Amino acid sequence: MSSWEPLNIDLKAITESETTLECDLGDAYFEALDGAEVSRGRVHVSLSIRKISGFFDLNYSINGAVNVPCDRCLADMQQPVSGERHLTVKFGKTPGEEDDLVTVDENDGVLDLTWPVYETIALAIPIRHVHQPGKCDTEMTEALVAHQTARSSETEGNGATDSRWDKLKELKF
């Protein structure tokens, strides 16, 4: 896992008032992470941090589009993404993350949001992503139609059905 400099937050420099940061992530961010789900895109991150008696209340939102393969034709497509996340951050001796509570090394004082932002982006992508009707790769669509036609003609052509299905038909009322 690599780190992306604009998403490294120096918590020791945060004052008691609310601090806001803006960051635009592009292809270089996704390539540096080498994530399995997304390799390119443009996403805007808005970050708000409030220091509250030893803790930091952190909220960020993402908004943009990423390139993912279409489930139907496998061609790249732009998928809009948006989402929000809340984290509570504290200083401690052992850095770690548990649910939405992040502990940052008190000597270092830097919170790296590189991976949490990527996770938020990846979770904002719908499970099924396909092009709008008529926008899929025509060569692949034609190959799929030809394959489906050939397959259906194979099953219809021989007239034979699996005897197990005939037994199940007898169970109908």
Q: Domain limits of the chain?
A: 5-124
Q: Where are the alpha helices (DSSP H) in 5-137?
A: 27-33, 114-124
Ranges of residues in the chain with a pLDDT under 70 are: 1-3, 151-161, 173
Q: What is the pTM of this model?
A: 0.77
pLDDT at residue 12, as a whole number: 86
Q: Which H or E element spans position 65?
A: strand 55-69
Residue 33 to residues 86, 89, 130: CA-CA distances in angstroms?
Answer: 22, 23, 24
What count of other Cβ atoms lies within 10 Å of the Cβ of residue 49? Answer: 21
Q: Quick one: pLDDT at residue 141?
A: 78
Phi-psi sector, 25: left (phi>0), alpha (psi -120 to 50), beta: beta
Question: What pLDDT score was predicted for residue 54?
Answer: 81
Return the pLDDT at 1: 45
Q: Tell which phi-psi region holds residue 159, choosing left (phi > 0), alpha (psi between -120 and 50) or beta.
A: left
Strands 110-112, 8-10: pairing kind: antiparallel
pLDDT of residue 159: 59
115 C-beta neighbours (distance < 10 Å), count: 16
